[in-house]
Amino acid sequence: EVQLLESGGGLVEPGGSLKLSCAASGFTFSGYAMSWVRQAPGKGLEWVSGVGGSGSVTYHADSVKGRFTISRDNSKSTLYLQMNSLRAEDTAVYYCAKGCDTLCYRVDHWGHGTLVTVSS
Amino acid sequence: DIQMTQSPSSLSASVGDRVTITCRASQDINNYLAWFQQKPGKAPKSLIYAVSSLQSGVPSKFSASGSGTDFSLTISSLQPEDFATYYCQQFKSYPFTFGPGTKVDVK
């Protein structure tokens, strides 16, 4: 059974940093692209960042480019999102999402999410 | 960037109703279209990929169709567990944008 368990969310002040983790199990982690998708309170889904199975290919939405960095450690089956220069508008539930193949970013499984609150 | 729109933004329906939601892409996305269901306070759930293929375990009351820029999701007979918000997403090119969602609630 595919399981994705996010951690690392919390309250941070504007301008601060936070690192999210997603521990994956139930599948061959290195064989699948992974993404982070967020949802601000009361809003829709926003794709944030994606990384290919090997970790060499990464994408970031314009809204986070230069501030967020997605990475993965295939030896630990763990996905990361380093978030710097956080803003109030980054407040959201962040979901870890499994892709359908090494470079396929279609989501077939979702984590339960971790809440990030940016506030002073 | 490819923009995704959905209509309606919300609809009210009764148990047993047939419901159709539409999704439109700002440019041709071939069949790189997926649908998701989200209930309040829960993570999204993957329903359909490649326009019309059901994710494993998704009941056949869900169906979808479309091509190019225009797509639709149909629930053949709405059940209490189907009241939720539905999102489409294109995965043809980065950034992999979602539609704004369609909320299906009880009439």
Q: Give the per-residue pLDDT at B52.
A: 87
Q: Establish whether the linkage from the previous residue to B8 is cis, with ω within 30° of 0.
A: yes
Chain A: residue nearest B90 by CA? A106
Residue range A87-95: average pLDDT? 98
Residue range B67-89: average pLDDT? 95
CB-neighbour burial class of residue A84 (10 A; exposed 0-12, middle 13-18, buried 19+): middle
Mean pLDDT of all residues belonging to chain A: 97
E strand segments, B1-107: 4-7, 10-13, 19-25, 33-38, 45-49, 53-54, 62-67, 70-75, 85-90, 102-106
Q: Give the per-residue pLDDT at A92.
A: 98
CA distance B38 to B85: 5
Q: Is the minimum CB–CB distance between B41 and chain A shorter than 8 Å?
A: no
Chain B: residue nearest A111 by CA? B43
The label of the residue with tokens 């949802």 reads A39
Q: Do B94 and A50 make contact, defined as CB atoms within 8 angstroms?
A: yes
Question: What residue type is B26 in one-letter code?
Answer: S
- What token pair was written down for B34? 């997926």
Q: Give the per-residue pLDDT at B92.
A: 92
Helix (H) or strand (E) holding A22: strand A18-25
Q: Give the per-residue pLDDT at B97.
A: 95
CB B71 within 8 A of CB B51: yes
